[in-house]
């Protein structure tokens, strides 16, 4: 069996590539070469100095910040690929790039799958990511057994469909988060205990990942741990809105969400955790959600 | 022990009162008297012809469409109450009404708790409702053991806080539902399989009660079972926005949600299930979410 | 002829009452009595120490901050009115108050007209205000010749219609102003000269009172003269949204405007000029509209 | 003097080219050649069968539906241009296209100016258009005397600035129009006379081109004359929102406007007049603005 290659050893890619190494020869590349060497030392992978070194693999996995960086890698590596190679891109990329990149790779006999992941850094470490894949299902079937970082792989449609679903998922995350932030601000201004309110909401119909996890763990605690940057989420909403525009979809609510997250990014800073968007809601309402005081109980956050 | 009284034997109240009957004498009243008699025959409660007949209870539970109907009942029954009676209102009422009604009852020596419930008709039947309570916590402590329809009782703040949390919960339900509807419309127009998309979203950060339950069960199936009327949800959003306005909260996103649900109610009809709001999204996008055709697979919904 | 009475000698009322004095005996009252005495000294009106002193007039004109203050005056003065008196309220009031106040005055044989004005302090001084009137047109016809502060009097409907039109006018002002602010922020970030852009827009289809007058005169100059307070405009938008809600109107765009102006009021302060709402847009975009530097040209503002 | 060339003899271009002919030799081209021949017969211009025939002009004016069509023309004609030619594009184009097209033309020694116009078909016929120009001001100065269709020419910034201002102008038009439509719907549902309400608003602070001209002339009359297509306005809003996104501008209100106009286009049809967007507001509110019945009065529109 030919080796698998992995390019982009960031917070997600580093542990993902480690899972690949458990089942066969794995070549790794990173813009900062030292990271690739550290990965090789730790997991027995083979660090490549140059992108061309990845070309002897028949499965290339990329995990980069945006489709722009994927293009940069692809323009160097693509002409060296062997016919039959599969390029599986785990970046949260742009559907229109997926179509263009698939087209571009076809001239070298290679197949492209857009395959963004969800599950965060915790899921990457545990090898329990969900992968949403766009492209030829027969190609996916061929490489799916080798995706050792995944717990669930779902084929969602043609080229670009994976990126589309990822962008909409993240746009919904943003919408649910912002809506909850506004609702909690209204409750706080009315003197309602937010911990109690969330306990009720999470047992009721208004619950979401934002109310169940993000706000109790990151906002009410005032920790805002920067595991997913606000600037990247705002970029993803932009992809979601591009998707809507190109399909002539009418999404007035999601469009407003995009404007509000852009504002939050400008005011709060793109490097902050995405949940720090709620700091803008706090500012617009003259109220703070939660408190810095540590929770004394054992049942989770009760701050108001 | 004095009896408990229950007024308002609707889709929620009927099974709730049945749970009360399991633990002691229960008086029931309904605008349509035959319903009260049917309840008595089925559960051994005592049907009252007149509201005054409820006055010998020391715990009055009401479950009516809006605070308006509660006022109508209270103006008749209130003057007959014994000092020390507790009035626990499970209506999805208005916070400002809660304060006025508590004030009004005080002249008769009675206490008011606003105590709306969540869990739907299924939770009412099973006796597993969540109750969110505003008012004096000492009063709640006294009556809490008698709330046999509840699995979870949470004190959320002063008078009106229960209604406030309920209104915000329902507003978040509406926001999450509409956002998901827009996102799925954009995906459908891009040719993405919606069943697969929801499978991924529900394993990812964008999930909510809307994506996990409401849309797969009610929208993609085209069933839209009318268990919670669109007109009532739109009324609840109005309460949520009133709460925001009176507290000078800035909630631009929830405000847009209110406008969109009002439009959906006008176009689709107030008696439709609340999830039928997405029929307006379908119309605005020229696309249908899901299909009546049964899914052939075994892995859950795959409609697009 | 009986005298005319005027209550509420604020920035608008003071010059309005002066116009009344030109055509007959005028009684004036103000919460701060010294203001009424100053008015009497300056314009030959008769200052009244007590509200009851206004009761011998057969036309009562009020011009107060909100319907709340009108109620306070009316509860004192109403019982002393002579049958046939007309109460013309120039406050930017609430349509539901208009209906209740008309009903309440009817017991004393008096008629109510809601009659808010537009034209600002400049129009009040010049006697060129526009008055929009709700109520019985026959009653209006009787008093219209005495409204010396008005250039244009328009009957717009039944009781409350005057307040309704005023609230919607001001909501449109807010919407047009905010939209223009966002559009100019986008142009500024793209490096476009804002003075030139406004020159073009004001010769084109996107023009409004906001682009023609408010933004060039108040925002680009950085003067923000406080002639109409942001807090009062936000109050008026609230009345407009109440009107929409009570009529079951779907106004998602105006609803968002309400949320954004509430935020601007919280962040910028209610006493600032209403155009200072655009300071929040500047903050959300990290850009300033206009410059403090004086324009050197003679063709109007050219700041970017 | 070398001739001027004009490509794109549509509803705007046909009369614009006629004005050019008054001051010198003018070459015309149109995709449908018969239109060019008709223009030549009527105005003494010289119809060209092929695009290459325009290359002997030193000023090329284009007026096409979108930047896409300009690219198609430019790829054929560009390589034949003489060095020093100026290409002035009156299309409502995309700022990013302007930059790319300017770059592309530079290889042939030609200059590009983006120069969209406002004033509608009436202004084109009368030769009173406003032209907003992006690009090198020295180049503009050279050709400005030859723009016989213009009453006002304003240089607004670098390449793309003209398209940017046009897109934002049209987005403001859409925002002001939709806001007014929602406000009038709320008034209509409250029983207020819309003709009277508009009379007041147009003498007050909430006025805009939409309330002063478009709604009285096109909506209340139910005429909706299709002089500017809804689909093209929605396209222009999309350009405005692209501009905002590429400059990282936060425009939540304009973003909602974009979603609502996209919905109106889908529901009402892209070929309808842009004011027909208000038919969607009517549908969402269950009310009609205005009436076909002629006004009986002499004071202007009184429809409700």
The average confidence (pLDDT) of chain D is: 94
Q: Which of D141, D158, D175 is the last residue of a domain?
A: D158
Smallest CA–CA distance, residue B133 to chain C, in Å, is 27
Question: What tens digit of pLDDT does each residue of C174-231 get?
Answer: 999 999 999 999 999 999 999 999 999 999 999 999 999 999 999 999 999 998 999 9
* E strand residue ranges, D158-204: none
Q: Helices D194-201 and C161-189: crossing angle, nearest 10°?
A: 50
Q: Which residues of D touch A (CB under 8 A)?
A: 238, 241, 245, 248-256, 258-260, 262-263, 265-266
Q: What is the SS3 assignment for C240?
A: helix
Cβ count within 10 A of residue A213 = 13
Instruction: Decide: residue D268, CB within 10 A, 0-12 exposed, 13-18 middle, 19+ buried.
Output: buried
pLDDT of residue A301: 36
Distance in angstroms (rounded) separating the CA atoms of residues D21 and B218? 65
Say yes or no to pLDDT of C75 above 50.
yes
Largest CA distance in chain D: 65
Question: What tens digit of pLDDT does each residue of B21-66 get?
Answer: 998 999 999 999 999 999 999 999 999 999 999 999 999 999 999 9
In a domain, A222, yes or no: yes
For residues C39 and C1, the model is more confident at: C39
Nearest CB neighbour to A256, from listed D248, D255, D266: D255
The average confidence (pLDDT) of chain B is: 94
Interface probe, candidates D234, D268, D284, D285, chain B, greatest B C-beta count within 10 A: D284
In a domain, D294, yes or no: no
Query: Which ipTM score applies to this complex?
Result: 0.92
CA-CA-CA-CA torsion sign (B146, B147, B151, B155): negative
Q: Do B208 and A209 touch (CB under 8 A)?
A: yes
The average confidence (pLDDT) of chain C is: 94
Residue D266: list chain B partners with CB under 8 A: 284-286
Smallest CA–CA distance, residue A50 to chain B, in Å, is 34
Say yes or no to pLDDT of B302 above 50.
no
* The two three-digit tokens of residue D50, written as one number: 């092929």
* The two three-digit tokens of residue C253, written as one number: 């765009």
Q: Do A262 and D254 touch (CB under 8 A)?
A: no
In a domain, C304, yes or no: no
Distance in angstroms (rounded) separating the CA atoms of residues A153 and A149? 10
- For residue D236, the domain's CATH number is 1.10.1040.10
Nearest CB neighbour to A262, from listed D248, D265, D266: D248
pLDDT of residue D223: 95
pLDDT of residue D295: 39
Q: How confident is the model at residue B292 (pLDDT cuts 50, 70, 90)?
A: very low
Residue D237: list chain A partners with CB under 8 A: none
pLDDT of residue D208: 98
Residue D94: list chain A partners with CB under 8 A: none
Which of these ranges, A96-110, B113-127, C285-299, D75-89, has the smallest mean pLDDT?
A: C285-299
Q: Which of D111, D131, D158 is the last residue of a domain?
A: D158
Chain A: touching chains (3 or more CB pairs < 8 Å): B, C, D
Residue C285: list chain A partners with CB under 8 A: 263, 266
Q: How confident is the model at residue D205 (pLDDT cuts 50, 70, 90)?
A: very high
Mean pLDDT of D197-223: 97
**A279 among known catalytic residues:** no
In a domain, D298, yes or no: no
In a domain, A296, yes or no: no
Q: The domain containing residue A222 runs over which residues? A: 164-285
Same structural domain, C129 and C106: yes
pLDDT of residue D258: 98
Mean pLDDT of D67-87: 97
Same structural domain, A244 and A174: yes
Q: Do C187 and D179 touch (CB under 8 A)?
A: no
Question: What tens digit of pLDDT does each residue of A145-196 get?
Answer: 999 999 999 999 999 999 999 999 999 999 999 999 999 999 999 999 999 9
Say yes or no to pLDDT of B300 above 70.
no
Cα separations (Å) of A28 from A5, A45, A67, A88, A128?
6, 7, 19, 14, 21
- Checking DSSP bridges between strand A117-118 and strand A129-134, what pairing results, if any? antiparallel
For residues A298 and C227, the model is more confident at: C227
Mean pLDDT of A5-24: 96
Question: What tens digit of pLDDT does each residue of A189-242 get?
Answer: 999 999 999 999 999 999 999 999 999 999 999 999 998 999 999 999 999 999
Residue C182: list chain D partners with CB under 8 A: 244, 249-254
Mean pLDDT of A36-58: 97
Same structural domain, D24 and D103: yes
DSSP one-letter string for D233-288: HHHHHHHHHHHHHHTT---HHHHHHHHHHHHHHHHH-TTSBGGGHHHHHHHHHT--
Instruction: Decide: residue C239, CB within 10 A, 0-12 exposed, 13-18 middle, 19+ buried.
Output: buried
Write b or e for each residue in D26-40: b if 16 or more Cβ atoms lie within 10 A of its Cβ, otherwise e: bbbbbeeeebbebbb
Cβ-contact A278, A219 below 8 angstroms: yes
Same structural domain, C180 and C206: yes
Smallest CA–CA distance, residue A51 to chain D, in Å, is 31
In a domain, A275, yes or no: yes
Same structural domain, D171 and D148: no
Q: How confident is the model at residue C1 (pLDDT cuts 50, 70, 90)?
A: confident
pLDDT of residue C291: 63
Same structural domain, D115 and D233: no
Say yes or no to pLDDT of D174 above 70.
yes
Among all residues of chain A, which has the CA nearest to that of C286?
A: A266
In a domain, C293, yes or no: no
In a domain, B294, yes or no: no
- For residue D96, the domain's CATH number is 3.40.50.720
CA-CA-CA-CA torsion sign (A107, A110, A111, A115): negative
Same structural domain, D58 and D108: yes
Say yes or no to pLDDT of A302 above 50.
no
Same structural domain, A93 and A198: no
Q: How confident is the model at residue A295 (pLDDT cuts 50, 70, 90)?
A: very low
Same structural domain, C98 and C169: no
Same structural domain, D173 and D200: yes
Mean pLDDT of B241-268: 98
Task: Count residue pairs from A and D with Cβ separation < 8 A.
Answer: 59
pLDDT of residue A294: 38
pLDDT-above-90 percentage for chain C = 93
Say yes or no to pLDDT of C301 above 50.
no
pLDDT of residue A291: 62
Smallest CA–CA distance, residue A224 to chain C, in Å, is 21
Which of these ranges, B89-103, B283-297, C88-102, has the smallest mean pLDDT?
A: B283-297
Say yes or no to pLDDT of D294 above 50.
no
Chain C: touching chains (3 or more CB pairs < 8 Å): A, B, D
How many Cα atoms occupy the beta-carbon half-sphere of D144 within 13 Å? 18
Q: How confident is the model at residue C290 (pLDDT cuts 50, 70, 90)?
A: confident
pLDDT of residue B265: 98
Same structural domain, A199 and A148: no
Question: What tens digit of pLDDT does each residue of D95-125 get?
Answer: 999 999 999 999 999 999 999 999 988 999 9
> How many domains does chain A contain in total?
2
Cβ-contact D166, D270 below 8 angstroms: no
DSSP one-letter string for C82-151: PTT-EEEE-S---HHHHHHHHHHHHTTT-EEEE--EESHHHHHHHT-EEEEEES-HHHHHHHGGG-TTEE
Question: What tens digit of pLDDT does each residue of C276-289 get?
Answer: 999 999 999 999 99
Q: Which of A119, A139, A158 is the last residue of a domain?
A: A158
How many Cα atoms occupy the beta-carbon half-sphere of D63 within 13 Å? 24
Say yes or no to pLDDT of C300 above 80.
no
pLDDT of residue A290: 80
Smallest CA–CA distance, residue D210 to chain B, in Å, is 22
pLDDT of residue B97: 96
pLDDT of residue B299: 39
Question: What tens digit of pLDDT does each residue of C146-178 get?
Answer: 999 999 999 999 999 999 999 999 999 999 999
Say yes or no to pLDDT of D298 above 90.
no
D184: closest CA among C253, B231, C232? Answer: C253
Interface probe, candidates A234, A282, A284, A286, chain C, greatest C C-beta count within 10 A: A284
Say yes or no to pLDDT of B107 above 60.
yes
Chain D: touching chains (3 or more CB pairs < 8 Å): A, B, C
The average confidence (pLDDT) of chain A is: 94
Mean pLDDT of C100-120: 96
Same structural domain, C148 and C176: no
């Amino acid at each position: 069996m030919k080796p698998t290659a992995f390019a982009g050893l960031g917070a997600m890619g580093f542990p993902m590539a480690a899972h690949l190494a458990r089942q066969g020869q794995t070549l790794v590349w990173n813009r900062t070469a030292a990271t690739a060497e550290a990965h090789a030392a730790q997991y027995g992978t083979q660090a490549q100095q140059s992108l061309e070194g990845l070309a002897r693999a028949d499965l290339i996995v990329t995990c980069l910040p945006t489709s722009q960086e994927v293009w940069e890698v692809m323009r160097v590596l693509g002409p060296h690929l062997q016919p039959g190679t599969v390029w599986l891109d785990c970046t949260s990329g742009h559907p229109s790039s997926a179509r263009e990149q698939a087209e571009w790779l076809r001239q070298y006999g290679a197949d492209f799958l857009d395959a963004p992941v969800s599950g965060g850094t915790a899921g990457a470490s545990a090898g329990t990511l969900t992968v949403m894949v766009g492209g030829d299902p027969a190609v996916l079937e061929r490489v799916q057994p080798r995706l050792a970082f995944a717990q669930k792989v779902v084929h969602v449609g043609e080229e670009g469909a994976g990126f589309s679903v990822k962008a909409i998922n993240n746009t919904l995350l943003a919408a649910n988060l912002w809506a909850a932030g506004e609702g909690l601000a209204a409750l706080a201004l009315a003197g309602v205990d937010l911990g109690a309110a969330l306990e009720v909401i999470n047992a009721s119909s208004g619950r979401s990942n934002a109310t169940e996890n993000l706000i109790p763990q990151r906002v009410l605690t005032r920790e805002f741990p920067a595991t997913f940057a606000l600037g990247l989420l705002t970029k993803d909403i932009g992809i979601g809105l591009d998707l809507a525009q190109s399909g002539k979809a009418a999404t007035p609510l999601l469009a407003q969400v995009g404007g509000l997250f852009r504002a939050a990014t400008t005011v709060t800073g793109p490097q902050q955790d995405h949940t720090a968007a709620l700091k803008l809601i706090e500012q617009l309402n003259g109220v703070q959600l939660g408190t810095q005081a540590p929770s004394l109980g054992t049942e989770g956050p009760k701050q108001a």
